[in-house]
Structures are given as structure tokens and as C-alpha cells.
Amino acid sequence: MKTHQFTDALLESDPFDFSQKSKDLFLKSFKENALHHYKSHEFTQKLWDRLEFDPEKLNSENDLKNVPGTMVHLYKEHEFCSVPKEDLVLILTSSGTGGQKSQQFLNQESLDNVKRLAYTIHQSLGMADSRKYNYLCFTYDPKEANDLGTAFTDELLTNFTGKNEVYYAIQWNEELKEFELNEKGMLETLKRFEASDIPTRILGFPALLFELITKNNLTLNLGKESWLQTGGGWKGKAEKEIPKKEFRNLILKRLGIPLNHQRDLFGMVEHGIPYVDCSEGNLHIPNYARVYVRSPKDLSLLPKGERGLLHFMCSYNFSYPAPSLLTTDYGRLGSCTCGIQGDTLILEGRAGISKHKGCAIKALDFIKV
Ligand SMILES: [Zn+2]
């Protein structure tokens, strides 16, 4: 049943086409989505009424900038949902260590939408492939943790190519009743993949991979057909963070993965749009979203290139009322010379030090230094 025609049309369109027609499609889709949440979610309705924002008045690209951002911490403190609970097919959780969990509620339509947009974004960036790969995922085994954001993402990403073996490094220990990182298993797996004729794709946290390589003085040649897809940032290991360019060169030297096959991904459980590196290593913003940068002082809009708080907008999710999400992440908008249209997203850290720990932190807790 197709009930949201503009959103369906948007997700059929090229994610990096920023022609007037495509931009209008995002506007129409966003309006369709905003009206749904306004009518179906009491908190959103009351908030927007109080701020005198009327979603019916979303009639130009410029109007999008007037949509109030809902603070990300509200989604950690409340269960916000715009459909009856029995319609939900998946609840994604980011496992915070400080007791603050983020959840995203997905009905079938929204789940189909997010899977579809993730695929078209990766395909447009040259990352989808019908040939088979061996996967090493530095995350939770989805058989045990399918509702965790990172496990969901990794399982999703492995579906964009053919699959041979998939190895999940964070495994459930039945005796201890907790997850643990199987470092020995990862090293054995990498060596097995190196010897295989099938190319490798590594999905994981950059800090974890960095420590695995340096601690074990690892030098392998996975071959020029292999890929590295990172995500989750260096959170919790920020003091060890090395510049992206240096990291990419290290991966080339120590794993033999070409620079243009090393792609980082930024995503948030509450937002769901993947921002993915192009071959030059810049995170591109698709036409399925808008990213605004706001002053931390008064939330006024900052011009391109200036550093401020990131405000994310999306339209694909009809079960989770987060079309306009104001985060505590700092960043700015940039440009890229790779030929893909649109702005790039440059991340510049988090406002407040350790307030909102996500699943990345939880996984990084496994690193024993
Ligand atoms: Zn680019």
C-alpha cells in the first residue's frame, strides 16, 4: 500500500541529484512527513503549535530552515512514536553506557525506506557490487543483537554485495552472559581472508582497527579489490585519534586496501540517514536529507563553512517523529572535487564531553590497552 507518494518518489530519485526538481521532491516529501507527525504525535504538535510553526506552510526550500529542531536528548528520555506500537517491526537501540539509550521505532514502511535509501546511497558512491566478499565485521553478532544500531547497520551493509563468509567479532559469551571481543578470532580471520581468492570487506570502528594493527604489529595484503568501511568514529578513544589522511595511509600500508576503497560512514540512531565517504574521503549529504549548521548561542543559521551545532532533517520515517533533529554534535558544511553534487559534512566533535555515549563507545570498551 503506497500512502506517501512524495516520499516514495523521492526515494526512487538519485540521492545526489540536486536539480530544482529533485530539491522540490525533498520539500514535498518532508512536508508529507511533517504533516503526518504533526497529526499523529502529540508532543510534536504541541511543540510546533507553541513555537507557531505550521507544517502546511512548508512551500519553499527556504521554509525548511524554519522547522524547529527537536533536541536529541528528548529522544533518549522519552519513547517517541507516531504509530500504534503494534505496527512496529523493529526497534533500534544505541546502547549507551551511561544509562541513556536512544531508540528508533520502525514500522514496515519506514524500515523498507531506510534500507532502500541506504542501498541507493552506497550504490551511487560505487560501493554496491554483485560479486562475493568475505566480511569481517567489528561489531555485535546480529543473531544476538539485531536491535543494536551498529549490528543492524553492519548486517544491512553486507547485503549490498554478494557474501561469502561473514565473521562478527563481538560475540556473546554464554558463560559470562555478556558480549566480548574475539581478538584472536579476528586475527585468524584476517589471515584466512588474506589467503583467500575472494576479496575482503572490513566493517568496523577505526579506533578498534587501529589498535588491532598496532598492538599486533599486523601487516597483511588483502589485495586491491578489498574495502574498508568504517563508522562510529573515535568516540571514547579520542585521545588516540589520528588524522583521517594518516589513518587511510596506514590502512593502505598495513592491510593493502587502496585509499579509494576506504570509506567512513557517519550516522545517528535517531536520524538514520547514512553520510558516506566518496572515493576522496569526504562525507556527502544526499538529497534525502538536509543538514543545517546552527550557532550554539542562539541557534541562528550559520553560513556554509562555519562551525556550529548540526541540525538534521529527513523524511523517510513515518513511525519515529524525528524529522527535524537538533544534535549536540559540532560540524560544518564543505565541498568536494570528486564530481558528486551537493555539500559535504565535516564533523568536528561533540558539545559536552561524555554526555551521550552511543554504541560506538560500548564497543570500544572492549579494547583492552
Ligand atoms: Zn566527494
User: pTM of this prediction?
Assistant: 0.90
If you search the block for the grid coordinates 579509494, which residue do you land on? 260
pLDDT of amino acid 76? 87
User: Average pLDDT in the 103-121 region?
Assistant: 94
Please state, in angstroms and rounded to a whole number, the distance separating the CA atoms of residues 218 and 211. Answer: 10
Ligand 1 centroid from CA 344, angstroms: 7
Residue 103 pLDDT class (50, 70, 90 cuts): confident
> How do beta strands 227-231 and 161-173 pair?
unpaired
pLDDT band at 334 (very low <50, low <70, confident <90, very high): very high
Domain ranges (residues) in the chain? 113-273+353-364
> What is the DSSP secondary structure assignment for residue 80, as one 8-state letter?
-
User: For the residues 191-195, what does the mean pLDDT come to?
Assistant: 97
What 263-267 contacts at long range (C-beta under 8 Å, 24+ apart), as own/partner pairs, is 263/125, 263/127, 263/227, 263/228, 263/229, 263/230, 264/206, 264/229, 264/230, 264/231, 265/153, 265/229, 265/230, 265/231, 266/231, 266/233, 266/345, 266/347, 267/149, 267/153, 267/231
Name the grid cell of 169: 567479532
**How far is it, in rounded angstroms, from Cα 88 to Cα 17?**
32
Per-residue pLDDT of 149-164, as tens digits, reads 666 777 788 899 999 9
Output the pLDDT for position 366.
Answer: 45
- 52 CA to middle of ligand 1, Å? 38
71 contacts: CB under 8 Å, gap ≥ 6? 326
C-alpha pair distances (Å), 60 with each of 65, 302, 341: 10, 19, 20
Instruction: Give dist(CA 45, CA 135) in Å, integer.
Output: 44
The runs of H, that is alpha helices, within 316-364 are 359-364
Ligand 1 centre to CA of 314 (Å) is 21
134 Cα: distance to centroid of ligand 1 (angstroms): 26
Q: How far is the CA of 125 from the centre of ligand 1 (A)?
A: 9
Pick from 14-18, 76-80, 340-344, 358-362: least confident: 358-362
Do 320 and 306 contact (CB within 8 A), yes or no?
no
Tell me what the mean pLDDT of segment 170-174 comes to. Answer: 85
225 within 8 A of 204, measured Cβ to Cβ:
no
Q: What is the distance in A from the centroid of ligand 1 to the CA of 279?
A: 6
**Whole-number Cα distances in Å, 48 to 108, 148, 338:** 27, 31, 39
- Judged against a pLDDT cut of 80, whether residue 265 lies above it is answered with yes
- Span from the CA of 276 to the centroid of ligand 1 (angstroms): 9
pLDDT at position 364 is 47
- 136 in Cβ contact with 190 (< 8 Å): yes
Mean pLDDT, the chain, whole residue set: 89
The pLDDT score that the predictor gives to residue 360 is 52
Confidence band, pLDDT 50/70/90 cuts, at residue 135 = very high
Rounded Cα distance, 13 and 31, in Å: 17
Residue 103 C-alpha to ligand 1 middle, in angstroms? 31
Ligand 1 center to 286 CA (angstroms) = 12
Return d(Cα 329, Cα 294) in angstroms, integer.
11
Contact (Cβ atoms closer than 8 angstroms) between residue 122 and residue 276: yes
- In the chain the first and final C-alpha atoms are separated, in Å, by 52
Separation of CA 341 and ligand 1 centre (Å): 8
Q: How far from chain centre, in Å, is Cα 63?
A: 26
Centre of ligand 1 to C-alpha 262, Å, is: 13
- 128 to 46, 115, 125, 191, 205: CA distances (angstroms): 42, 13, 8, 24, 20
The most confident of the ranges 75-79, 143-147, 264-268 is 264-268
Confidence of residue 139 (pLDDT cuts 50, 70, 90): confident
Q: What is the rounded distance in angstroms from the CA atom of residue 170 to the CA atom of residue 186?
A: 10
Query: pLDDT at residue 176 above 90?
Result: no
CATH of domain 113-273+353-364: 3.40.50
Say which range, 146-150, 159-163, 196-200, 201-205, has the weakest mean pLDDT.
146-150
Can you tell me the mean pLDDT for 301-321?
Answer: 97
The alpha carbon of 180 and the centre of ligand 1 are apart by a number of angstroms equal to 36
User: CA quadruple 247, 244, 297, 321: dihedral positive or negative?
Assistant: negative
Instruction: Report CA(339)–ligand 1 centroid distance (Å).
Output: 6
User: With pLDDT > 90 as the criterion, what percentage of the chain qualifies?
Assistant: 72
* Sheet strands (E) in 95-213: 102-107, 129-140, 161-173, 178-181, 200-204
Distance 144 CA to ligand 1 centre (A): 36
What pLDDT sits at residue 232? 81
